Structure 1
Amino acid sequence: MDQTPRRMLGQPPSSPTTQPKKKSTSVMSFFSKVSWNLRLQKQEPLKNVFFILAETARDPSVKKRHMVMSGLGTMACETPDKVRKYKKIILDLLVNGLYDPVSSEVIHESMKTLTIILDKIRGKALGSFFIDITLQTRTLLDDENDSLRYSAFVLFGQLAALAGRKWRRFFTRQVKQTQDSLLTHLQDRNPQVAKACKTTFRACSPYLRQSKDYSFQNEEDQRNSKLCRQLSHYHPELLQFFYANKIL
Structure 2
Amino acid sequence: MDQTQRRILGQPLPIPTTQPKKKRASMVSFFSKISWTVSLQKQEPPKNVFFILAERAQDPNAKKRHMAMRGLGAMASETPDKVKKYKKIVLDLLVHGLYDPVSADVIHESMKTLTIILGKIQGKSLGSFFIDITLQARTLLDDENDNLRYSAFVLFGQLADFAGRKWKTFFTSQVKQTQDSLLTHLQDRNPQVAKACKTTFRACSPYLKERKENSFQSEADQRNPKLCRQLSHYHPELLQFLYANRIL
**TM-score, normalisation: structure 1:** 0.75
- AA at the equivalent of 2:210: Q
1:120 is matched with 120
Q: Deviations over 1:47-96 (max 9, x none)?
A: x3333222211111111101111001111111112222221111111111
Counterpart Cα distance in 2 of 1:28 and 1:77: 14
2:61 is matched with 61
Counterpart Cα distance in 1 of 2:200 and 2:157: 4
Q: Deviations over 1:8-61 (max 9, x none)?
A: xxxxxxxxxxx94455xx9799746741355x34xxxx1x33332222111111
Moved over 3 A (4+): 19-23, 26-34, 238-241
2:235 is matched with 237
Counterpart Cα distance in 2 of 1:134 and 1:103: 19
Counterpart Cα distance in 2 of 1:33 and 1:60: 23
- AA at the equivalent of 2:42: W
Counterpart Cα distance in 1 of 2:50 and 2:78: 15
Distance change (3 Å), C-alpha of 1:178 and 1:32? same
Counterpart Cα distance in 1 of 2:104 and 2:172: 27
Q: Deviations over 1:93-116 (max 9, x none)?
A: 111111111000010001011100
Counterpart Cα distance in 2 of 1:221 and 1:239: 22
Gapped runs of 5+ residues in structure 2? 1-24, 240-247
- AA at the equivalent of 1:56: R
Distance change (3 Å), C-alpha of 1:169 and 1:28? closer
Which has the bigger relative contact order, CA under 8 A and spacing at least 6? 1
Counterpart Cα distance in 2 of 1:214 and 1:98: 41
Structure of greater Rg: 2
Question: Which secondary structure state, in structure 2, belongs to the residue aligned with residue 89 of structure 1?
Answer: helix
Contact 1:138 1:178 survives alignment (8 Å):
yes
1:31-70 residue pairs with structure 2 within 5 A? 31=37, 34-36=40-42, 40-41=45-46, 46=47, 48-70=48-70
1:77 is matched with 77
1:206 is matched with 206
Counterpart Cα distance in 2 of 1:236 and 1:131: 32
- AA at the equivalent of 1:211: R
Counterpart Cα distance in 1 of 2:33 and 2:129: 29
1:105 is matched with 105
1:152 is matched with 152
- Identity among equivalent positions (%) equals 71
1:215 aligns with 2:221: no
Q: Deviations over 1:171-229 (max 9, x none)?
A: 1111111110000000001111101000100111110101154524224335x47xx79
Counterpart Cα distance in 1 of 2:34 and 2:158: 33
State the number of aligned residues.
Answer: 213
Counterpart Cα distance in 1 of 2:72 and 2:152: 18
Question: Which secondary structure state, in structure 1, belongs to the residue aligned with residue 165 of structure 2?
Answer: helix
Distance change (3 Å), C-alpha of 1:183 and 1:50? same
